[in-house]
Structure 1
């Protein structure tokens, strides 16, 4: 088993050490660091970015060619780490403890450290792992100037004003976070627009992690619901299918046959992942696709309506107005005016 020790939690220093140990190609764009590997140690990428206010985002999308251990130290004011596993599984222990806590696919986790305590992450050979970590720097109790900041408020919520200890909370399964991480990976913009979009989605993921923890405390006896990991993966696949084929007339029975889930399981999964019913989700996907077509193509409104699976233009206009506060025609006219004046 290979072990790498990281002496600094700062993103810049951490990636310099990872690059030194792993090789690969390190790209730095503003404050975003991406280490891409395709060698005898493994393949995939490790990404990290720091935002103002002491919040960092770290992402592993890796398959290592051997068992691998990553050891990181913490400072006197150790950060709080919010973790999410999108694929595979990852194990963690404190210092040299033999007990390992495992974060599985679609599970949330919250990690706090005692001062100057080590974290050890374990990656299994030939297992594709996608894990996201949001690291929130804590604030010293004596630093009263920062007590209105997000860091301090999260610190008070998770620690209740007490000194941090070595604790890890493995939460329930959450598919909404997987959806946000998919959006994060899909960002194509560059420069400040990219940074702003990443920061916004990271804050959304953080909010969902905190909400999940709150919900878990209220529902300790039913943290995972009735869906297992395989069933949630099926819900994720069906969600992707709806996004890829919004024009198809999809019925609940057809989606149940395709996923192997019962109608109750399918609806429960969509409530977990998207906070809505299957039918409402399909309608929302179609409306957003229609907005893209109106803005980016020469199709007229009727052509847009039928290309995304609606059969009634009047019904489409009604729900479009409810979402965007204008009619499809008004939206199209504004786009044409902007194009003409450009």
Structure 2
């Protein structure tokens, strides 16, 4: 039976004790380092999803400043870093001058070191940080990754490898990405399930998808097919607030000129931010949020299709049916009938 491979070398995470005190705990599919309460609360979790591919998840609340030595991550590994929540510093001290990079919430980054130089995560006191590091060991056959998630001739991964070739150290800070953040949220939802086998299989697939998205993203940025953009951190915070508002209240009238005036963000910045976060235009994002709400109303209420159309802020039933069918590959009425039949079968 295929489940997540459990790391059996407890000494890897044990080395964290050289930085901060804590205890090691093995679960059915992972190894965890639980930090000592004097330093804060939380854990660092290691999962091997395939030979040569590891996931390190950090969920920490620091009572005091922490500097976590990452010597448990071998050299010659590509590290795909994603800041899920909070801000932290990534510090490298090798043959060159020390390099310190700040990684913010929703920020992506790639790191590589060909030697055993000191690399650390630094977290300030009284902060909560969640981040993930997915590593690919370049000295290990990564055919498992290629078979699980096939990329076009694996050219994206090759372009990143060529970028770091011959370098002792490499760090690239990419743009913010809400799509990847949503994938990490889906993993949290998986772990609310009580079935451990389901956890293993579902989270393994989700991690492969995240890794593939990060590889594709960095390949595009490195090759200047996609650039990190001109948005400031404050702009991104405002854009995320706008998208949260649209998700909660999709029925409102969201003309981009009006939203621009209310937020102080230019229409160009709104478009750039939503494209960066969701890979769609502003109007497409609003439409998708309305369709998401319509789907929920179809599943959970007895409102007629016409009533749902007006509830989500549209006026044309024919337009709604057209875009709904484009997204869900069936009409709203058929979707409701299939949902009711499924509910009856499970009742």
Q: TM-score range by the shorter chain?
A: 0.7 to 0.9
Task: Give the direction of change, closer, same or farther, for the CA distance of 1:113–1:261 in structure 2 (3 Å limit).
Answer: same
1:248 matches 2:246: no
Q: Which runs of 5+ in 1 are unaligned?
A: 1-8
How far has the Cα of 1:264 moved from its partner? 1.4
Q: Which runs of 5+ in 2 are unaligned?
A: 1-6
SS at match of 2:250: coil
Which residue does 2:285 correspond to in 1? 281
Instruction: After superposition, give the CA deviation of every residue in 1:180-204 in whole Å (9 maximum; x if it has no partner).
Output: 3344445443434444443343233
Per mean C-alpha deviation after superposition, the further-off stretch among 331-340 and 300-309 is 300-309
How far has the Cα of 1:131 moved from its partner? 2.2
SS at match of 1:285: helix
Per mean C-alpha deviation after superposition, the further-off stretch among 316-325 and 83-92 is 83-92
* Whole-Å separation in 1 of the counterparts to 2:67 and 2:245: 36
Alignment of 1:59-138 (within 5 A): 59-73=57-71, 78-86=76-84, 87-94=86-93, 99-105=98-104, 106-114=106-114, 116-138=116-138
With structure 2 as the length reference, what TM-score do the two structures score? 0.77
* Whole-Å separation in 2 of the counterparts to 1:317 and 1:253: 27
Alignment of 1:179-328 (within 5 A): 179-187=182-190, 188-191=192-195, 192-219=197-224, 223-328=227-332
How far has the Cα of 1:37 moved from its partner? 6.5
Q: How many residues in Structure 1 have an aligned counterpart in Structure 2?
A: 330
SS at match of 1:128: strand
* Whole-Å separation in 1 of the counterparts to 2:219 and 2:318: 42
Which residue does 1:5 correspond to in 2? none
What is the root-mean-square deviation in Å for CA atoms of aligned residues? 3.8
Which residue does 1:3 correspond to in 2? none
Which residue does 1:4 correspond to in 2? none
Determine which of 148, 152, 173 is the counterpart of 1:171.
173
How far has the Cα of 1:16 moved from its partner? 6.2
Task: Give the direction of change, closer, same or farther, for the CA distance of 1:305–1:50 in structure 2 (3 Å limit).
Answer: farther
Per mean C-alpha deviation after superposition, the further-off stretch among 327-336 and 16-25 is 16-25
* Whole-Å separation in 1 of the counterparts to 2:119 and 2:130: 18
